[in-house]
Amino acid sequence: MPAPELTDVTLTVNGVQHEITVEPRRLLSDALRHDLGLTGTHVGCEHGVCGACTVLVDGKPTRACLMFAVAAQDYAITTVEGLTRPDGSLSPVQQAFKDCHGLQCGFCTPGFLTTVAAGIEENPDPTEDEARDMIAGNLCRCTGYQNIVASVLRAAELQAGESEESA
């Protein structure tokens, strides 16, 4: 077996540039977790169904397990770690999940948080049905989703409150 081909990759994650050297086959999820140490992105199925590994690629929710790190160079990637404010305070989505008991074991949570962060950016005032639609591609085995839907609505509320304050 020939020595694996290695490629230099520049990843821009949460506003920071990282240089890594990886095989082309390295999944973005593994690069984030194991090369950059950003272990908040979780891997639940590695075939794109569960959504635990969802990160934002240029602001759009994307499965990190369905992208190769080497193909992620031209984008700005945001992981759950990047949702936290620079001062360490929680973003509206994080705060809402905490307030509404929107998580139990917490394993699927980062994928929900990134998805909802983008979702309420696009639709700042979702109805309950729209909230449900927003998270329809993420699996959770603990919560039965009831409090996650509530968290989405709460996150929108918190975000609206913040934009009012800053306006």
Partner 1 sequence: MTTKSIGEPIARVEDARLVTGQGRYADDLMPGALEMAVLRSPHAHARIVDIDLEAVLDLPGVHAVYTYDDLTGPMAEPLPLLIPHPTLTHGRTQYALAKDEVNYVGEAIAVVVADDRYIAEDAVGRILVSYEFLPPVVGIDKARAAEHLVHDDVPGNVAARMEQGFGDAAGAIAKAPHKLVLDIEVERSAATPMEGRGTVARWDRDLGRMSVWSSTQTSTGVRAAIASKLGLDLGQVDLVTPDVGGGFGVKIVHPWPEELLVPFAARALGRPVKFIEDRREHFISSAHERGQQQHIEVGFDEDGRVLGVDFRFWHDHGAYTPYGLIVPIITSTQFLGPYKIPNYHVVFESLYTNTVIVTPYRGAGRPQAVYAMERMLDAIAAHLGIDRTLVRERNFIQPDEFPYAHGEMSFQDGRPLVYDSGNYPELMAKAKALVGWEDFERFRDEARAEGRKVGIGIACYVEGTGVGPYEGGHVTIETSGKVKVSTGLTTQGQGHQTAFAQIVADELGARFEDVEVVTGDTRRSPYSVGTFASRAAVMSGSAIALAARKAKEKALRLAAQALEVDESDLEINDGVVSVKGAPGTSIDLGTLAVLSNPLRYAFDEASKAATQFVVGDPGKPPVPEGEEPGLEGKDFYSPMRSTFASGIHAVIVETDPDTAEIEILKYAVVHDCGTLINPRIVEGQIHGGVAQGVGGALYERMEYDESGQLLNASFMDFLIPYVTEIPKKIDIDHQVTPSPLNPLGIKGAGEAGVIPTAAAFASAIEDAEGITITSMPISPSQLFDLRLQAAADGTTNQEGTN
Partner 2 sequence: MKPAPFGYRRPGSLAEALTAYADASDAKIGAGGQSLIPLLSMRLASVAELIDINGIEELSRITVSEDGVRFGATVRHSDLLAHEQVAAVQPMIPAALHHVAHATIRNRGTTVGSIVHADASGEMPTVFALLDGRLTVQSVRGTRELAAPELFIGPLETSLAADEIATEVFLPALAPRHGVAFDEIARRHGDYALVGVGAVVGLDADGAIASVRAGYVSVSEVPTVVDLGEPLVGHRGEITDDALRAAGELALSHLEPEADIHATAHYRAQLVRVLTGRVVRAAYDDAVARSNRSEGTPSNARS
Using rule CB under 8 A, residue 66 touches partner 1? no
Look up residue 158 and give its amino acid.
Answer: L
Using rule CB under 8 A, residue 161 touches partner 2? no
Binding mask 25-44 toward partner 1 (x if CB under 8 A, else -) reads xx------xx--xxxxxxxx
Using rule CB under 8 A, residue 63 touches partner 2? yes
Shortest Cβ 167–partner 1 spacing (Å): 26
Separation of alpha carbons 146 and 154, rounded Å = 13
Separation of alpha carbons 82 and 24, rounded Å = 25
Shortest Cβ 122–partner 1 spacing (Å): 18
Instruction: Render 69-81 in DSSP notation, one character per residue.
Output: GGGGTTSEEE-GG
Separation of alpha carbons 35 and 158, rounded Å = 34
User: Out of partner 2, partner 1, none, which partner does residue 165 contact, by CB within 5 to 8 A per kind?
Assistant: none
Separation of alpha carbons 38 and 32, rounded Å = 5
Using rule CB under 8 A, residue 15 touches partner 2? no
Using rule CB under 8 A, residue 24 touches partner 1? no
**Closest Cα partner for 47 from 66, 32, 29?**
66
Using rule CB under 8 A, residue 85 touches partner 2? no
Q: Yes or no: say if 112 and 55 are a contact pair by the CB < 8 Å rule.
A: no
Enumerate binding residues for partner 1 (CB under 8 A).
1, 3, 23, 25-26, 33-34, 37-47, 49-50, 52, 79-81, 83-84, 90, 94-95, 97-99, 101, 103-110, 113, 128, 132, 135-149
